[in-house]
Amino acid sequence: MKTENKLPPIKVKLVETNVYTRWPCTVCSGCTGKVAILAESEDDIRVCEKCLKEGVEARLQEHIRKEIEFVEFLRSLVGRLNVPTYEAWEKAMKENYENDIKRDERLMARSRSS
């Protein structure tokens, strides 16, 4: 499903970093490893080492396919979700918090009496 792109090319360079964390990959939506060298563009396009190894174009096409599939799934949910209100959620959260406090008070009372 390769398409011709008339936009200018984006130069991705190998860049040293001192922040060892997992960075999001633009190509596959995965993450880099905690590595010292990142493949990045000046426009914050990042390519993980798995995409470098397996081929950027193939991984990008697979990502597009999965995103389209996910969009179709989201569209199938429109008008079908019957969810609680935010107020009901807030009430449940408050009740949960109050129950946790009561449980903790009972546990503390038991530990004092032993």
Spans of all domains in the chain: 8-81, 83-114
Angle at 49 between CA 47 and CA 51, to 5 degrees: 60
In angstroms, what CA-CA distances link 14 with 17, 24, 45, 61, 95?
Answer: 10, 15, 12, 23, 52
- Bridge partners (DSSP) of residue 24 are 31
Q: What confidence tens digit (pLDDT) does each residue in 93-105 have?
A: 999 999 999 999 8
Confidence of residue 3 (pLDDT cuts 50, 70, 90): low
Q: Is the pLDDT of residue 34 over 80?
A: yes
Percent of the chain with pLDDT over 90: 86
Neighbours of 14 (CB within 10 A): 10
pTM of the model: 0.69
